[in-house]
């Protein structure tokens, strides 16, 4: 495999929703790469377009209103947007798998978990009967479920949230995908289970040399698990960098604000800092830089109010979309 081509490369992706009130630009001109065997964390507030990006990659944007209007999604150099539905079906669950936020509702209540785990194997690899079943048991053991031979015959309602998320991971990984999209995999779980699940994901990623695109609003999760971080604000990427760089020296005011609003150990504070204002309505984004009404610099800067800064390389391996970022130039 060519070392230079990233496994997944998204170029200028725009996904819009056409609703009665107008056009919701859920994802606009988004570009990023996920390298082979690495983890990219996509960080942002809720409603900023993280999940829609993930669904666009899977080709699962809700057909009723949404559409990918522009861009390319290159998976191993092939544009996924040009593939037919049946070609996409062969990729989904096989080469690109996804786990969801809500383990309580993502499993079909009327089937045993074994049935659901083997579905992907049956669909994609033609393994049947006993072999598929023993594969399901093997996968359950891999994700750390005790007594898998018995558990595989149980129904989702007999399991706890953490166990169900483990089952979801087993489902997603049973075809050894090369890319796993994890859409807020730990948001619905409590903190101790969160740590276990993330640990499990890391371990399995190492075993299988799999790339992970992890969508989260939790900077702590990103810091612990990711190699690279892409920060999303109001449908745009505002900053990408390695995880160390972003925590050491955030360049975009939004990233700086996010980091400041995190509680720090050993620091006495009455209240946590927050970013003033709220996320703009995706139907009516502000003119110029979308962050300028909330930005300490941009709110009084003429250029920020009228022009939208493009994402640009500001230092080797890191990009930012802010006129005032160090190294942005003009």
CA trace torsion 320, 324, 329, 330 (10° rounding): 110
Among 24, 30, 34, 98, indicate the residue that binds another protein (CB under 8 A): 98
Among 82, 84, 109, 302, binds another protein (CB under 8 A): 109
Choose, by CB under 8 A, the member of 108, 261, 281, 300 that binds another protein.
Answer: 108
- Nearest approach, Cβ of residue 311 and another protein (Å): 28
Candidate residues 52, 107, 152, 221; the one interacting with another protein per rule CB under 8 A = 107
Give the residue with the Cβ less far from another protein, 104 or 299.
Answer: 104
Among 30-38, 106-114, 126-134, 226-234, the segment contacting another protein (CB under 8 A)? 106-114
Under the criterion CB under 8 A, does residue 89 sit at the interface with another protein?
yes
CB of 66 vs another protein, minimal distance in Å: 13
Query: How many chain residues interact with another protein (CB under 8 A)?
Result: 34
Binding another protein (rule: CB under 8 A), the pick from 36, 45, 70, 119 is: 119
Q: Which residues pair with 52 in a beta bridge?
A: none
Instruction: For residue 205, give Cα distances in angstroms to 93, 100, 164, 177, 324.
Output: 16, 17, 19, 10, 37
Quote the Cα angle for 18-22-23, to 5°: 50
Positions in 34-63 near another protein (CB under 8 A): 58, 60, 62
Considering only CA atoms, which of 119, 292, 101 is closest in space to residue 184? 101
Q: Site for another protein (CB under 8 A): which residue of 155, 187, 242, 247?
A: 155
Q: Which H helix or E strand runs over 214? A: strand 211-216
- One residue of 5, 90, 176, 310 binding another protein per CB under 8 A: 90
* 106 is a site residue for another protein (CB under 8 A): yes
Q: Binders of another protein among 160-179, rule CB under 8 A? A: 168, 171-172
145 touches another protein (CB under 8 A): no
CA atoms within 13 A on the CB side of 98: 19
DSSP state of 311: P
Give the interface segment with another protein, choosing from 40-48, 115-123, 233-241, 288-296 (CB under 8 A): 115-123
Q: How far apart are the C-alpha atoms of 33 and 208, rounded to whole Å?
A: 19
Q: How far lies 48's CA from each of 55, 127, 187, 217, 222, in Å? A: 14, 40, 16, 10, 17
Query: Between 201 and 258, whose beta carbon lies closer to another protein?
Result: 201
The vertex-202 CA angle with 1 and 61, nearest 5°, equals 70
The rounded radius of gyration (Å) of the Cα atoms in the chain is 21
The per-residue DSSP string of 169-187 comes to: HHHHHTT--SEEEEESTTT
Binding site for another protein (CB under 8 A): 58, 60, 62, 64, 86, 89-94, 97-98, 100, 102, 105-111, 119-120, 123-124, 150, 153-155, 158, 168, 171-172
């Amino acid at each position: 495999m060519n070392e230079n081509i990233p496994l997944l490369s998204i170029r200028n992706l725009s996904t819009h929703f056409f609703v009665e009130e107008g056009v919701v630009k859920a994802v606009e001109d988004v570009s990023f790469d996920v390298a082979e065997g690495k983890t990219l964390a996509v960080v942002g507030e809720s409603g900023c377009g993280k999940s829609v990006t993930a669904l666009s990659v899977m080709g699962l944007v809700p057909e009723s209103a949404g559409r990918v209007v522009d861009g390319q999604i290159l998976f191993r150099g092939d544009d996924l947007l040009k593939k037919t539905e049946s070609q996409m079906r062969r990729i989904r669950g096989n080469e690109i798998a996804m786990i969801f936020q809500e383990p309580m509702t993502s499993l079909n209540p009327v089937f045993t978990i074994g049935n659901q785990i083997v579905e992907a194997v049956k669909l994609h690899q033609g393994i049947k009967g006993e072999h598929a079943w023993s594969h399901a048991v093997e996968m359950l053991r891999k994700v750390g479920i005790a007594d898998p031979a018995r558990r595989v015959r149980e129904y989702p309602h007999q399991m706890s949230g953490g166990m169900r998320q483990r089952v979801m991971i087993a489902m997603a990984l049973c075809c050894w995908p090369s890319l796993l999209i994890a859409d807020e995999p730990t948001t619905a779980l409590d903190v101790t289970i969160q740590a276990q699940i993330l640990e499990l994901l890391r371990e399995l990623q190492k075993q299988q040399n799999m790339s992970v695109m992890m969508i989260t609003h939790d900077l702590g999760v990103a810091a612990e698990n990711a190699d690279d971080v892409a920060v999303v604000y109001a449908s745009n990427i505002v900053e990408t960098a390695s995880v160390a760089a972003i925590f050491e020296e955030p360049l975009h005011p939004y990233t700086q604000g996010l980091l400041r609003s995190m509680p720090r150990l050993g620091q006495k504070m009455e209240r946590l800092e927050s970013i003033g204002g709220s996320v703009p309505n995706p139907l009516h984004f502000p003119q110029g830089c979308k962050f300028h009404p909330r930005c300490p610099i941009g709110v009084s800067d003429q250029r920020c109010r009228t022009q939208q800064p493009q994402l640009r390389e500001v230092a080797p391996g890191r990009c930012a979309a802010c006129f005032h970022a160090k190294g942005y130039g003009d």
